[in-house]
Structure 1
Amino acid sequence: MKNSIIVLAFLLCSLPIFAQTQAPGPAGTPSIEARLIELALANPAIKVRDYERAKTVSELNKAGASWLNYVTASANLNSVTLKLVDQNALGTQLYYPLWNVGINVPLGSLVGKGADVKIARRNLDIATAQQEMARRQITAMVLAKYRDYTKNKALLELQRESTDEDQAAFEQAEAKYSASSITYDEYNIASKRYKEGQARIITLERDIAVSKLEVEEIIGVKLEDVTNIK
């Protein structure tokens, strides 16, 4: 019972320390992944999608306003308004309109323009969907590449620790083999394990360098410029 109370008191005292170690960064400071996403969304591939959508918006506006090109107004003047004939001499002429004004709207053209507007709207929908799809794809890509990078760094750290142990075991086996206290097969097993560990380190270092380059290609800046921001 006494031991339980001591353990419980220790855990309670440790809670503030644990909370401090788990506390997030300063308020308003974005995480590394948030900064990576922000930089990735400024990628030229995304800008192309933005430009394409802006283009389709302009095309829609143009299609919606171009029906005015098919509307024509006409007016003609009769002989009275031009004062070529005496109005008093033409009794019935006064009952005719002095101006003849008309507006011509080709119905076939209006039907065609309605279809053009619908096509422009669908193109805008397509461009909007492509823009959103590109944003999602590049977000997933940069996060996946960055997580590959951090995973390989963690694996490299573990592999180095393991290889250090294998190196120590190999050096001991080498000394024992020189003293003829172990067989060649035992020495060879230790040597092979150590060399395999070295090969895995080389592979992981290469994977880290590649994933780092892939992240930097997406975000357009050095990865250190993002991860070193406090």
Structure 2
Amino acid sequence: MKRISLVVLALFLGFATQAQVVKTDTSVLLKLPPDPARIARFKEKLVELALQHPDMKQYAIKKQINKYELNSTGAQWLNHFNAAGNLNEFTLKGGSSNNTFFPRYNFGVVLPIGNLIKIPNDVKRVRAEKKVLESQQESDALTIKATVLQLYEEYAANKQLFELHMPLVEDALLNYQQAEEKFRAGDETVSIELYKEAYRAYNGEMAKKILLEKELRQSKLKLEEMVGTTLEQVLLQI
């Protein structure tokens, strides 16, 4: 009776193990190019795509707005000039030559003294805002570059850790399967304690695999979010 119970336990653990053997998500195991030069191009392409992010494209619009504001500010000088046609030129027809006494056009300039300082300063301010805008764009570009490269290193490291752990999972599974086979065959060298220990060891390695795979998947998603496309697509472009 005791032997039957142990066999039932073995069968139960065997079914539990089969349920835990989950296929690895191959989409996270991107095959990175072994060539250092190609890896460098891959990183450059990642940075290039990240710099096309909508947050960076707004700088082109802001620069255009700054250009419009500069033109508008410089045109303020024209507000102080006025010109008008003389009414006599158009209404007195067929009159004597005395009509030529009146000028045909009137020109005038009204220039508040304060504007001699205000308008040039406004122009300088708009130009200074352009320099600040360019500085911000350069700073953001450097930040994005650093972030992308950091995310790449995290993905590459997580990928390597995951790949290094896979043989441990396979060894634990093989050890458990061998213990299970001997235990079911009645091999006295494999006690129920050894059998259960092999099962727990395999379970522990599977738990680590799941966590490592999760971290790998998350690091891949973060990097893809920055560049706006999948890493597989990026590899096709280099």
CA distance in 2, matches of 1:48, 1:32: 26
Which of 155, 159, 166 lines up with 1:160 in the alignment? 166
- 1:71–1:104: 8 Å Cα contact kept in structure 2? yes
Within 2, Cα distance between the matches of 1:199 and 1:30?
Answer: 34
- Cα distance in 2 for partners of 1:30, 1:22 equals 9
Give the deviation of 1:160 after TM superposition: 0.4
CA shift in 2, pair 1:180/1:56, >3 Å? farther
**Paired AA for residue 233 in structure 2:** D
Structure 2: any 5+ residue segments left out of the alignment? 1-33, 87-96
* Aligned counterparts of 2:99 and 2:154: Cα–Cα separation in 1: 92
User: What is the CA–CA distance in structure 2 between the aligned matches of 1:44 and 1:74, rounded to whole Å?
Assistant: 47
Which of 87, 99, 114 in structure 2 is aligned with 1:108? 114
Give the structure 1 partner of residue 29 of structure 2. none
Q: Does 1:51 align with 2:61?
A: yes
- Correspondence for 2:227: 219
Give, as a single letter, the amino acid of the residue that structure 2 aligns with 1:67. Answer: Q
With the length of structure 1 as denominator, give the TM-score of the two structures: 0.66
Are the equivalent residues in 2 in contact too, given 1:60–1:124 (CA < 8 A)?
no
Q: Which residue of 2 is the match for residue 41 of structure 1?
A: 51
**Aligned counterparts, 1:77-116, within 5 A:** 83=98, 103-116=109-122
Q: How does 1:113-132 map to 2 (within 5 A)?
A: 113-132=119-138
Instruction: Give the conservation status (yes or no) of the 8 Å contact 1:49–1:131.
Output: yes
More moved, 208-217 vs 38-47: 208-217
CA contact (8 A) 1:70 1:106 kept: no
Alignment length (residue pairs): 190
User: Residues 23 and 167 from structure 1, CA distance in 2 versus in 1: closer, same or farther, beyond 3 angstroms?
Assistant: closer
8 Å CA contact 1:173, 1:182 repeated in 2: yes
Quote the Cα distance in structure 1 between the aligned partners of 2:217 and 2:35: 30
Residues 112, 199 of structure 1: CA spacing in aligned structure 2 closer, same or farther, 3 A cutoff? Answer: same
Q: Percent identity over the alignment?
A: 28
- Residue 75 (structure 2) aligns with: 66
Matches of 1:228 and 1:186, distance apart in 2: 50
Partner of 2:143: 137
- The reply to whether residue 209 of structure 1 matches residue 217 of structure 2 is yes
Deviation at 1:100, TM superposition (A): 9.1
Relative to 1, partners in 2 of residues 1:73 and 1:148: Cα closer, same or farther, differing over 3 Å?
same
Helix, strand or coil at the partner of 2:114: helix
Report which structure shows greater RCO (CA 8 Å, sep ≥6). Answer: 2
**Structure 2 counterpart of 1:191, one-letter code:** Y
Q: 1:182 to 1:72 in 2, by over 3 A?
A: same
Q: Residue type matched to 2:208 in 1?
A: R
TM-score with structure 2 length normalisation? 0.65
Letter of the aligned partner of 2:70 in structure 1? L
Deviations 1:172-228 (A, max 9, x none): 444555634355554444333321211122222222222222222222222112224
- The SS at the match of 1:107 is coil
Q: In the aligned structure 1, how far is the partner of 2:106 from the partner of 2:71? A: 34
Change (3 A) 1:152 1:22: closer
Change (3 A) 1:74 1:58: closer
Judging changes above 3 Å, is the alpha-carbon distance between structure 1 residues 218 and 85 closer, same or farther for their aligned structure 2 residues? closer
Matches within 5 A, 1:183-198: 184-198=192-206
